[in-house]
Amino acid sequence: MEISSLILFALSVVGMTHIIVDGSIFQPVRDFIQKILPERICQLFTCYQCCGTWCGFLAGAILISLNPWVILLCGCAGSFLAMWSATYLNYLEARTIINLGDDDDEDGE
């Protein structure tokens, strides 16, 4: 396996998961799914870990291997990558908001 396939796998899982879970372009699909499907199934489209698993399965089958064990492991890796990236992005956003608020308080004094 090439390192480029591994990098493409990681970026595709994170990107695909972010588009499905938080992307505004996917919002009508999420709204439609929430109307017609049970809540447990809707979690596949609103949970980073759940969606990351399925995106990992798909990306693993396309980019890495058709071996079922490898696809299973790609799903696990996709779950971890999606959760980690969501947590990291939330951390960065929180740090930015907190820092902006601190700067405003100093200027106002």
The percentage of residues in the chain with a pLDDT greater than 70, rounded to a whole number, is 88
Per-domain residue ranges for the chain?
3-108
Q: Give me the amino acid identity at 4.
A: S
Token pair for residue 96? 């930015």
User: Model pTM?
Assistant: 0.81
The percentage of residues in the chain with a pLDDT greater than 90, rounded to a whole number, is 77
| Average pLDDT score over residue span 82-104 | 80
| Average pLDDT score over residue span 20-37 | 93
* pLDDT score, position 96: 84
* pLDDT score, position 100: 58
- Side-chain-side CA neighbours of residue 94 (13 Å): 6
* pLDDT score, position 103: 53
